[in-house]
Structure 1
Amino acid sequence: MNRARVGVLISGRGSNMAALLYASRLPDCPYDIVLVASNDPEAAGLTLATAEGVPTFAHAHKGMKRVEFDALIDEQLRAADVEFVALAGYMRLLSPEFIDKWAGRIVNIHPSLLPRYKGLDTHARALDAGDRAVGCSVHVVTAELDDGPVLRQIEVAVLPGDTAETLAARVLIAEHQLYPRALADYVMRDSTPEAKLARVREIALALPGAEETTSHGMPCFRVQGGKMFCYFTHDHHGDGIIAIIVKTSGPDEQAQLIDQDPDVYYRPAYFGPSGWVGVRLDTPDTDWDHVANRIELSWKLVAPRKLLGIRDF
């Protein structure tokens, strides 16, 4: 399993960072913590991360404009080949520029049942409102504070005599359970066969005259009840591969593609002799623009002239 590379941003003790880190040590965890960064060089969480062998970066934000500091953090994340960013007690508002660069790849944990009690003092506000339950939420980070789509939540009961401090301590236990699970689900959301098929379906059905059917036990796409131009395969005949199978101009092009990039292209069983080629979708970095191009080229090889005229090549 290719694990997602996660960078964690902290400002203090880093207890949620620790929960993410120790969960990443489990053999079935789909992510690794590859960097812990902070806006406070004295943050206690940095000491823990260093002791656990995780690279760290710290720089005081005072005296720097928000966009300048965020550019510094962005530079460190990219140098570590980070794919996702997890905020864990990071007490800095992120600049729109940073959020745009990492759109859809930043998550945060917040100590309330969003959309209730965005911002600070969540437990005191819940107690003042007489709530019987509070909780925590993991959400996608967007430009508006604590407003991104909620991924998961856990509810925590309010006990008689609770204070903001006692409630915060109990919610923190729930946070440590919730965050690793929510992060694991999120980094895997585009890696499942179902997600990859949905992406292939979107590409294929956008082509003129394309329709979906089933053949050889696989979802496939053809042109107006006629010729096939794309098959989606997942562990077909027990090969363990997630891929598409598309047409080429013939065996020569098939062989050339496989020879040029054997990690992506392969000769599919039963289809290979006629020049079809497999394009793997389970590589660490699937190039979806390239996949879309191969699907369109395959469609072009079988589409009738009237449809070819619709498409602007």
Structure 2
Amino acid sequence: MVEPRPPCPKAKVAVFISGTGTNMAALLYASRLSDAPFEIVLVASNKQEAAGLALARLEGIETFSHAHQGHSREDHDAAMEAAAKQAGAQFILLAGYMRILSEDFVRRWEGRILNIHPSLLPKYKGLDTFARAIEAGESYAGTSAHLVTQELDAGEVLAQVRVAIAPGDTPETLAARVKLAEHQLYPRAVADYVSRGSDPKHLLARLRELALALPETYERESHGSPGFRVGTEKTGKFFAHFHDGHHGSDRVAVLVKTGSMDELLHLVETQPESYLKPAYYGASGWIGVVLDRPDLDWDHVEDWLAQSWQRCAPARLTKLHDVAEMF
């Protein structure tokens, strides 16, 4: 009997603020619910007098402030980043942080910075969103949780909430109601996003995208689980299997072909958090690349899929692939 999968460690997040920190407070108190998948390890601000810092200190959260005046954007970002790393943050949450981040900072934290924006993106990026929505005669305003990219307010939208615009609304009255929606939306969106790394459905979807991008590949069930083959329907071979807690294991992994048993055993012995020897498959050279771990590098998974595809594909495909690699 397979034991229940142990709970994943909570994701460590740093929250960047510039003012009162009401969204930070919503995140903080949500993080203290028993099933919350994240914890706040730092609240940082570009303003030493930001009221949100006092609240964070009152609640026992480490704080950091670094005034941006007199510093280049890059130097200021470096100080904020250093504090986040020192606190052990894996994600950065922007919550009323009124600074545009430098390109290098965003690149280093790609996929790990979230923001809450007061509009239904992609509408009304930037500032004065409520006045613009009212002036345009919109029926709804709202709020969006999204990933941060180098283009302002253009990252993937993770979740949204609509808020009706009432006759006679002003930007101030509308903002007050949208703020309530933000406090509900942001903690939920953050929880869902940081949990992706342990969600088998999300991991399979990402794996499927990478596997099916390889030449002449298709999906077929194998022993009750998704598998990926290369070649024709009649003679194709499996080059990857999705492994979700099977045969006594409590991990989510992708099974791929190694070059030898020596390679398999060496990887499993020296990197047990990253690799596993699957029951009933290991003797055939299959190794499990563990997917439900916080340090997962999807480029590394993509490399393993390509290597396994190369070992299982018919010669006519591998020859073409080798020629393409030369260019």
TM category (shorter chain) comes to: 0.7 to 0.9
Q: Which sits farther off after the overlay, 259-268 or 291-300?
A: 291-300
- Of 276, 295, 299, 1:266 maps to 276
- Map of 2:255 onto structure 1: 245
The 2-side partners of 1:274 and 1:47 are apart by 59
Cα distance 1:45–1:214, how it changes in 2: closer, same or farther (>3 A)?
A: same
Identity rate, percent = 57
1:281 equivalenced with 2:291 (yes/no): yes
- Map of 1:180 onto structure 2: 187
- Map of 2:5 onto structure 1: none
The DSSP-based 3-state class of the residue aligned with 2:227 is strand
User: 1:250 offset after TM fit, Å?
Assistant: 4.9
The 2-side partners of 1:157 and 1:304 are apart by 58
Cα distance 1:63–1:305, how it changes in 2: closer, same or farther (>3 A)?
A: same
Superposed, 1:139-158 pairs within 5 Å as: 139-158=146-165
Superposed, 1:4-23 pairs within 5 Å as: 4-23=11-30
The 1-side partners of 2:256 and 2:159 are apart by 38
The 2-side partners of 1:227 and 1:115 are apart by 43
Cα distance 1:68–1:161, how it changes in 2: closer, same or farther (>3 A)?
A: same
Superposed, 1:33-44 pairs within 5 Å as: 33-44=40-51
- Map of 2:241 onto structure 1: 231
The 2-side partners of 1:133 and 1:289 are apart by 40
User: 1:243 offset after TM fit, Å?
Assistant: 0.9
Cα distance 1:56–1:273, how it changes in 2: closer, same or farther (>3 A)?
A: same
The DSSP-based 3-state class of the residue aligned with 1:77 is helix
How many residues are aligned here? 313
Compute the TM-score of the two structures, normalised by the length of structure 2: 0.84
The 1-side partners of 2:310 and 2:135 are apart by 65
| Conserved? CA contact 1:250–1:276, under 8 Å | no
Q: Which sits farther off after the overlay, 6-15 or 90-99?
A: 90-99
| Conserved? CA contact 1:107–1:141, under 8 Å | yes
Q: Which sits farther off after the overlay, 168-177 or 261-270?
A: 261-270
- Map of 2:171 onto structure 1: 164
User: 1:160 offset after TM fit, Å?
Assistant: 5.2
Q: What is the letter of the counterpart of residue 252 of structure 2?
A: I
The 1-side partners of 2:262 and 2:150 are apart by 50
Structure 1 residues 137-165: Cα deviation after superposition (integer angstroms, max 9, x where no partner): 22233334334343322222344554433
The 2-side partners of 1:64 and 1:146 are apart by 24
User: 1:68 offset after TM fit, Å?
Assistant: 2.1
RMSD over aligned Cα, in angstroms?
2.6
Q: Which sits farther off after the overlay, 186-195 or 23-32?
A: 186-195
The 1-side partners of 2:98 and 2:82 are apart by 19
Q: What is the letter of the counterpart of residue 171 of structure 1?
A: V
Structure 2: give runs of 5+ residues left out of the alignment. 1-7
The DSSP-based 3-state class of the residue aligned with 2:321 is coil
1:104 equivalenced with 2:114 (yes/no): no
Superposed, 1:119-134 pairs within 5 Å as: 119-134=126-141
User: 1:174 offset after TM fit, Å?
Assistant: 1.2
The 1-side partners of 2:75 and 2:51 are apart by 24
- Of 75, 78, 92, 2:82 maps to 75
The DSSP-based 3-state class of the residue aligned with 1:309 is helix
Cα distance 1:80–1:271, how it changes in 2: closer, same or farther (>3 A)?
A: same
The 1-side partners of 2:46 and 2:62 are apart by 15
Cα distance 1:289–1:159, how it changes in 2: closer, same or farther (>3 A)?
A: closer
Structure 1: give runs of 5+ residues left out of the alignment. none
The 1-side partners of 2:301 and 2:122 are apart by 38
The 1-side partners of 2:256 and 2:145 are apart by 39
Structure 1 residues 199-257: Cα deviation after superposition (integer angstroms, max 9, x where no partner): 33344344444433221112222331333222111133564321122233554443333
1:290 equivalenced with 2:297 (yes/no): no
- Map of 2:4 onto structure 1: none
The 1-side partners of 2:141 and 2:23 are apart by 18
1:89 equivalenced with 2:96 (yes/no): yes
Q: What is the letter of the counterpart of residue 168 of structure 1?
A: A
Superposed, 1:189-228 pairs within 5 Å as: 189-224=196-231, 225-228=235-238
Structure 1 residues 94-139: Cα deviation after superposition (integer angstroms, max 9, x where no partner): 2333333333332222223334443333334444455443322222
User: 1:9 offset after TM fit, Å?
Assistant: 0.8
Q: What is the letter of the counterpart of residue 177 of structure 2?
A: R
Q: Which sits farther off after the overlay, 128-137 or 271-280?
A: 128-137
1:302 equivalenced with 2:302 (yes/no): no
The 2-side partners of 1:11 and 1:115 are apart by 24
The 2-side partners of 1:121 and 1:309 are apart by 57
